[in-house]
Amino acid sequence: MVIAIDGPAASGKGTLARRIAAHLGRPHLDTGLLYRAVALALLDRGLPLTDSAGAARIAEALDVATLEEDRLRSREIGEAASLVSVHPGVRGALLDLQRRFAAQPGGAVLDGRDIGTVVCPEAEVKIYVTASPEERARRRFRELAGRGEPTTFDDILADILRRDTRDSERSAAPMRPAADARHLDTTSLDADAAFARALDMLPAGVA
């Protein structure tokens, strides 16, 4: 069974996906880290984020085993990933990788922005997680502050609004809920409450 969890940045989809995967004993892939890894590799090689050919080559050689580097979680790389994700060559290469991951025996849990619409449109479970931009900015601000990254709430909110616009208006696989996705608004929910709501959305006998 494939579980697709989509939504905008800092909506809580990643935390939710990890908990569901652990609860069900299924492999989990944070697909946003794939785009972050491509962006980081470009920057480390001194290549511009607009280098679509270079980005595509990196994406084609990407290994999911390399997604644990702490730098992938930084604000800078998050913004860079949003820019890299518009390249069709990158999306094509990573689409194949994500589908191979989802095709594992027993299925998998994937979270991102286009899992239920593009990557795994036939997924048995689709959940679209969202929260207000202000709440998402508060969460991201606390996360970055906890890692010692200098920032302000207003800057984070501006980043989130900018990324929402870019991700929803891009021509290739824009961010949007699948027509058959269940919606989960986490604005007023903590991680435990969101997890409980999500479990209720799974087919009977699965959770």
Known binding-site residues equal: 7-15
**Which residues fall in the annotated binding site for ATP?**
7-15
Neighbours of 112 (CB within 10 A): 29
Adjacent-strand bridge partners of 6: 112, 128
CB 2 within 8 A of CB 123: yes
Long-range contacts of 96-101 (CB under 8 A, 24+ apart): 97/34, 97/59, 97/62, 97/64, 98/29, 98/31, 98/34, 101/27, 101/29, 101/64
What is the dihedral sign for C-alpha 182, 33, 141, 167?
negative
Q: How deeply is 31 buried, as exposed, middle or buried, from its count of CB atoms within 10 A (0-12, 13-18, 19+)?
A: buried
Q: How deeply is 190 buried, as exposed, middle or buried, from its count of CB atoms within 10 A (0-12, 13-18, 19+)?
A: exposed
